């Protein structure tokens, strides 16, 4: 069988067509290469990551991201820059301490790599997510085998082409394929990191735990933005419009629900959304391009959105004002969000927490007391104040709660704990 990836704005444009990869062979080669890599001086690993960062920064990957997943070009360029910055960030971390010493003779801890990291990645951040998983895995001495989403196969292969000249042969591999290849990678890897749907993530977590290997799964969200009466409504709706609709709302951190407390935001938000340019993602003025597939567009339409009559999988950005809408309960990966109301901040937080998800919640207010209460009580892995739900800083730990995430956090210093295992050493001196 073959893996076929086409452009969502021009479905007749075949970006890549390749055969399914051999997971077993890739993992076996990576395991051999990892032994050499783990034993290398930290400076070797740092130099390699810096060289890869330079290659990524100088590449034309942004054009491929635009073509393959329909990401607007300004965001695509930002993703390339972010991928390079992540690589440089983890190139520095190879020099971080790897343990602690304790009193009582010579007692200390060390951290060691797991071995082969199996990385199952989505299409919506076809560079940043593979990099934010692979960069720390490599920095701390692991090999990395990536099974990308079929819709982002071309980006993954191009990224690997930039990485492999700077690494031992076989240390990094991309295995094209679908669910069977992903399941086989989970069954063979020594540590597993997954980003994707909740249904698949739960199976990945169960399979990895059943084998006794570390696993982290990021599985989407139904993120809410709460707007209080004292908020700067104009700034809030501008943030929310972008967080809900940019890149056609295809981010796990996108705002999907808006909860207004004592203020009417529906009209202002609808106006702000209407000002976003919908069009060809290669045009720098475009904020909203196509959704990834015909099926994705049909799901948007089925929840109250409208298809646009043009080539490609375009849907009109839509703000829904309906207390009975399924959008209050169901995540739709597209340019659509729902507005609701609540009588006070406590009720709004309960509304925000009323789904099974817990990825990001944002609060717009000038009220410090409300902020402190919100930060303590909201049930999300990420909490933001006067900031959009969308957007992740790679130096900060990232991860959701409840159905949004399982296992350790990603990114920042948290990655070191996930991609390594601790060992306690005690040495008795000569009498």
Alpha-helical regions (H) of 141-197: 153-163, 179-188
Residue 72 near residue 281 (C-beta atoms within 8 A): yes
Nearest by Cα to 287 from 327, 236, 340, 251: 251
The per-residue DSSP string of 99-111 comes to --EETTTEEEEEE
Token pair for residue 416? Answer: 């070191």
Residue 218 near residue 399 (C-beta atoms within 8 A): yes
- Out of 155, 184, 217, 252, the active site residue is 252
Place of tokens 């343990």: 99
Distance CA 183, CA 185 (A): 5
The per-residue DSSP string of 274-303 comes to HTSPBS-TTSTT-SB---SSHHHHHHHHHT
Q: Which strand ranges, in their side-by-side order, compose the sheet holding 360-364?
A: 318-321, 336-342, 255-261, 223-227, 360-364, 382-385
Distance CA 42, CA 140 (A): 9
Q: Which helix (H) or strand (E) holds 415?
A: helix 414-419
Nearest by Cα to 144 from 21, 26, 22, 19: 26
Residue 330: Cβ within 10 Å count: 13
φ, ψ of residue 187 in degrees (nearest 5): -75, -15
Distance CA 266, CA 291 (A): 24
Q: Which helix (H) or strand (E) holds 233?
A: helix 233-245
- Out of 75, 181, 184, 218, the active site residue is 218
First and final C-alpha spacing in the chain: 67
Nearest by Cα to 95 from 131, 30, 52, 50: 50
CB-side neighbour CA atoms (13 Å) of 72:
21
- 218 as an active site residue: the answer is yes
Residue 79: Cβ within 10 Å count: 23
- 151 as an active site residue: the answer is no
State the catalytic residues: 218, 252
């Amino acid at each position: 069988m073959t893996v076929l990836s086409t452009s969502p704005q021009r479905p007749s444009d075949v970006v890549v067509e390749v055969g399914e990869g051999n997971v077993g062979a890739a993992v076996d080669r990576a395991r051999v290469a990892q032994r050499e890599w783990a034993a290398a001086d930290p400076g070797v690993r740092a130099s390699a990551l810096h060289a890869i960062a330079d290659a990524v920064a100088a590449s034309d990957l942004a054009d491929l991201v635009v073509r393959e997943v329909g990401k607007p070009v300004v965001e695509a360029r930002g993703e390339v820059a972010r991928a390079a910055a992540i690589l440089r960030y983890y190139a520095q971390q190879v020099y971080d301490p790897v343990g602690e010493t304790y009193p009582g003779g010579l007692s200390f801890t060390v951290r060691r790599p797991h071995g082969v990291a199996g990385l199952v990645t989505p299409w919506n951040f076809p560079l940043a997510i593979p990099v934010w998983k692979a960069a720390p895995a490599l920095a701390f001495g692991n090999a990395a085998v990536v099974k990308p989403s079929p819709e982002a196969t071309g980006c993954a292969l191009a990224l690997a082409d930039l990485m492999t000249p700077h690494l031992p042969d076989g240390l990094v591999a991309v295995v094209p394929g679908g669910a069977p290849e992903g399941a086989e990678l989970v069954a063979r890897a020594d540590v597993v990191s997954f980003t994707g749907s909740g249904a698949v993530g739960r199976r990945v977590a169960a399979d990895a735990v059943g084998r006794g290997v570390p696993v982290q799964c990021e599985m989407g969200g139904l993120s809410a933005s709460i707007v209080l009466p004292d908020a700067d409504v104009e700034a809030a709706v501008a943030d929310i419009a972008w967080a809900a609709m940019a890149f056609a709302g295809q981010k796990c951190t996108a705002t999907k629900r808006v909860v207004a407390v004592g203020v009417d935001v529906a009209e202002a938000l609808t106006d702000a959304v209407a000002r976003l340019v919908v069009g060809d993602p290669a045009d720098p003025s475009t904020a909203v391009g196509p959704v990834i597939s015909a099926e994705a567009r049909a799901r948007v339409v089925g929840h109250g959105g409208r298809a646009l009559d043009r080539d490609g999988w375009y849907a009109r950005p839509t703000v829904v004002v309906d207390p009975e809408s399924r959008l209050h309960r169901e995540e739709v990966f597209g340019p659509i969000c729902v507005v609701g109301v609540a009588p006070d901040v406590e009720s709004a937080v309960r509304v925000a927490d009323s789904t099974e998800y817990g990825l990001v919640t944002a609060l717009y207010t000038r009220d410090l007391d409300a902020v402190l209460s919100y930060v303590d009580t909201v049930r999300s892995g990420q909490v933001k104040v006067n900031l959009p739900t969308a957007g992740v800083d790679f130096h900060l730990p990232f991860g959701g709660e409840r159905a949004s995430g399982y296992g350790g956090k990603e990114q920042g210093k948290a990655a070191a704990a996930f991609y390594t295992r601790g060992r306690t050493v005690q040495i008795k001196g000569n009498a």
